[in-house]
Amino acid sequence: MLKDNKEPLNMMESVVTGVGYSPRDPQHVEPKSPQGVNFQQLRSKFFNEMLDDRHMSAEASQNIEKWLFERSLAELKVLNQEAKEFFLYHGITFTVYGDAEGTERTIPYDLIPRVIAKKQWDKIAAGCAQRVHALNYFLDDIYNRQEILKSGIVPEVQVLSHEAFQPQMLNFKLKGNIYSQISGIDIIRDRSGEFFVLEDNLRTPSGVSYMLESRKISKKLMPDLCQKSKLYEIEQYPQLLRAILEENTLVDRPTVVVLSPGRFNSAYYEHAFLAREMDVALVTGQDLFVENDMVYAKTIRGKQRVDVIYRRLDDAFLDPLSFRPDSCLGVAGLMSAYLKQNVIIANAPGTGVADDKSIYPYVDKMIEYYLNEQPILKNVPTYQCRNHYDLDYVVENIHNLVVKEAQGSGGYGMLIGPQATEKQIAEFKKKVIAHPHLYIAQPTLDLSVAPTLTDKGVAERHIDLRPFVLSSPHRTEIVPGGLTRVAMKEGSLVVNSSQGGGIKDTWVIETLHA
């Protein structure tokens, strides 16, 4: 029974069914159910990850239910406030440009973890590794032999005219043909619990610091529960990242740096975090210079040769002599040093052509073409508005589709048809018709949900997952966990932090069914 001095954990109505949820009388709990909080009553038309009884034992969710029931809603809110203060103290913030209320924010954190059975995680990891292998083959091919273009599998015009395609990379061979050393693959689950890849991120994928800090907070706020659940660890990621970067070089004992645009960048905290955790220097373009096609860092002891640059700025700003001449963020002559193989840039310039939303529909074919395998993880069906027959379908059915800018990110530049007003639909339809090659469309999927703490109690909220894939010529590594993003707004399908989304810790555990 709840103690008298505790406020009951008041479960709010399900965002879908509208069915009220309150703790049951412990004397009337069904067998094998914990007292109080019962995730079963959050069942709706959406796939609830905490109730994945096909792959996960009941014990996994029951441990979390019990932990929640032993605390009042007020106590849980205090714990979430502690997490926010932890973020503030450690400077874990992100930037929302152009926001009148200020740019620096702490990302919302939800202390109820997202749990994935190890057997399911193994499928995710295998599918992500397969996908990144194929994408690296694709990048090596389009910058060298261009066989997939000549075969007509991927339209030549979509690649060679792509704004991210870098002609300077033509006929340039990388060690092990690795173009994307760090990849983030966005995964969703539909109503049936099936995994789909929503998006590939190969340019400068972000969010790994939130993955790692979420685990630190879980262990701080829920030490006993974390220990009891026997989580697979992820804290090895920074040193694994450094090892992978070093394995991509052509020298022994290389010097690695993290190149950041500076403290006003939205992901600056992550740049500083990874540099600190890898025990390497965090630099800006002003800290580096090129001499005789060698890259050096300015130090108090004089110049020091740099062998690997983990860059966190876009291609256009890397080198004012090769790209944007007005860039003050990059290093003059950097591309010359790179093309003479005197420095490694991770990820390689020109990788962006492979993670564009208009190239995404061809990744399944890349897997079959380069690996002679069937995709482990499926793509979401995608309509390319540049094709007139797809455009006609999208315009006719825009009310039921999600329409995105091919180059868009952060949840911007998109329309969710079922949630849009007639005015928004009319305006977006004009944009698509005027510039169809800039847009793709996908069906509105019923994203999976997970129990999430809200101001009124626990409710379902939609989630996605971004595992991080590390690649070298010798191996592919994926730590057992990823960045789970959660749409904190009721009914929202947009999980991006810039759109009000938050994060959860991702627990990969062994279960009785695995």
How far, rounded to the nearest angstrom, does the alpha carbon of residue 129 sit from its chain's CA centroid? 15
What is d(CA 414, CA 429) in angstroms, rounded to the nearest whole number? 11
pLDDT band at 411 (very low <50, low <70, confident <90, very high): low
Residue 295 in tokens: 């890259």
Which stretches of 336-438 are assigned E, i.e. beta strand? Answer: 344-346, 378-379, 383-384, 401-405, 414-416
Per residue in 163-213, pLDDT (tens digit) is 999 999 999 999 999 999 999 999 999 888 899 999 999 999 999 999 999
Nearest residue to 484 via CA among 441, 452, 444, 445? 452
CA 48 centroid distance within chain: 20
Kindly report, residue by residue over 430-468, the tens digit of the pLDDT.
999 999 988 999 998 888 999 998 888 888 999 999 999
DSSP per-residue string spanning 222-246: -HHHHHHHTPPP-TTHHHHHHHHHH
Q: By CB neighbour count within 10 A (0-12 exposed, 13-18 middle, 19+ buried), where does 499 fall?
A: middle
Residue 87 pLDDT class (50, 70, 90 cuts): confident
Which residues, including other chains, have CB under 8 Å from residue 268's CB and lie 6 or more apart? 95, 260, 261, 262
Average per-residue pLDDT for the chain: 86
* C-alpha dist (Å) from residue 411 to 184, 328, 362, 414: 16, 28, 22, 7
| Between residues 165 and 97, the one the model is more confident about | 165
What would the two tokens of residue 433 be? 């018709």
The pair of three-digit structure tokens given for residue 493, joined into one six-digit string: 């399908």
Closest CA to 471 of 139, 119, 216, 116: 139
Structure tokens at 1: 């029974």
Backbone torsion region of residue 442, taken as left when φ is above 0, otherwise alpha when ψ lies between -120 and 50, otherwise beta = beta
Q: Which span out of 71-80, 389-398, 471-480 was modeled with the highest average pLDDT? A: 471-480
- Please report the pLDDT score of residue 393 as a whole number: 93
Distance (Å, whole) CA 369 – CA 496? 33
- Taking 90 as the threshold, does the pLDDT of residue 86 lie above it? no
Pairwise CA distance, residues 501 & 452, whole Å = 12
Residues 6+ apart with CB under 8 A from 123: 195, 376, 377
According to DSSP, the residues that pair with 296 across neighbouring strands are 289, 305
Output the pLDDT for position 95. Answer: 58
The domain segmentation of the chain, as residue ranges, is 381-443
Nearest to 34 by CA among 24, 43, 44: 24
pLDDT of residue 127 exceeding 70, the answer is: yes
3-state secondary structure of 372: coil
| DSSP E strand boundaries for 52-181 | 93-95, 104-106, 109-117
DSSP state of 371: I
List the end-to-end C-alpha distance of the chain, in Å, as a whole number.
Answer: 33
pLDDT over 70, % of the chain: 86
Contacts of 85 (CB under 8 A, 6+ apart): none
Could you list the beta-strand ranges (E) of 50-108: 93-95, 104-106
- Torsion (CA) 108, 109, 112, 115 in degrees, nearest 10: 110
Q: How far apart are CA 466 and CA 300, in angstroms?
A: 39
Q: What is the mean pLDDT of residues 396-414?
A: 80
Residue 364 has pLDDT above 70, yes or no: yes
How many Å apart are CA 387 and CA 390, to the nearest integer? 5
CA distance 248 to 256: 11
Q: How far is CA 144 from CA 52, 141, 246, 349, 507, in A?
A: 45, 5, 24, 14, 41
Instruction: Write down the architecture of domain 381-443 according to CATH.
Output: 2-Layer Sandwich (3.30)
DSSP 173: P
- Most confidently modeled range among 99-108, 402-411, 464-473: 464-473
Take residue 343 and report the two structure tokens written for it: 């420095």
- Rounded to two decimals, the pTM is 0.87
Contact 312, 258 (CB under 8 A): yes
> What pLDDT band is residue 408 in, cutting at 50, 70 and 90?
low
Q: Which of 178-192, 219-233, 401-415 has the lowest mean pLDDT?
A: 401-415
Tokens of 357: 């939303």
- Angle separating helix axes 268-278 and 208-221, nearest 10 degrees: 70
Which one, of 308, 309, 335, lies nearest residue 254 by Cα? Answer: 308
pLDDT of residue 416: 87
